[in-house]
A and B are shown apart, each in its own frame.
Chain A
Amino acid sequence: MTDFPRVKELLEQPGVSIGLTVAAYWCALQLHRRWTWIPPIVVAAVPIMGFLLLLREPLAVYNRGGDLLTWCLGPATVALAVPMYRNGLALQRWLPRLAVVVLAGSVAGMVTAGVTARLLGAPMSVAMSTVPKSVTTPIAVEVSRELGGIPQITVALVICAGVLGASFGPALLALLGVRQDLAVGAAMGSASHGIGTASLVRRSEMQATVASWAMAASGVFTSLLATVLLLLLHLRHR
């Protein structure tokens, strides 16, 4: 196997993995502009994965810079409050109906994930790990732990749900004839949390606003529903 000591040495600098990520994302965006069906997040990640595999470098080396980008997610998520503040008045009237839509999505997501996993023979711990996969990672990990799930599986599923939504969500919704900003935002925030919301920022400010609201509401509903589920399981085993 060919070795690339100089490249490996370079990759250990956080700036290089950040630069690599930005360059891969920029190329993915150019491809996405030409062929809109190409999901930029996947197209940006795959060459980096290939590069790491080729160099036989562990993920930890890339993450020296990658973690800095991930850290920026915190301030970027807080910044989503700005469009929410700007569009607050327009949204206020629709909040009760939006809450019903997001609650229905939370129930559907939790039930279908757990039941499908159980029907296909997964043990209870794995099934419980799939239950909170539609909400943002910090909430999902806590809910998974409370339900007796395996947090590592939950984290993987949360990211996959986000990537699926960011890549195919808007197209699938358009196929269903769902085009209103509020409906698209509610669906994307409920199904794909922060990654889905981020993918809407460049599309429409209103959609991103509703998706941020739906993401937060979905987190609250999932935590409450998990408590109910836990009580039901407890009563059943008594």
Chain B
Amino acid sequence: MSEVPGAAGPDSGHAGDGSSASGPAQGMPRWVKVFVGIAIVLAVLAVVALLAPGDHGPGRHGPGMH
């Protein structure tokens, strides 16, 4: 491991050359399309979970609505 990872922002180890990991690819890379697909599925599941009656609903996230 060349650098210590973080969770929110880019590492600065290669900050002097932000292009080092970008490559010549044009358009959206396949791995991004996979991520977007997974995100859409998870978003649909989250909406279903929020709208469904039971343990997890919108009332669980707000004060005075329980």
A binds B: no
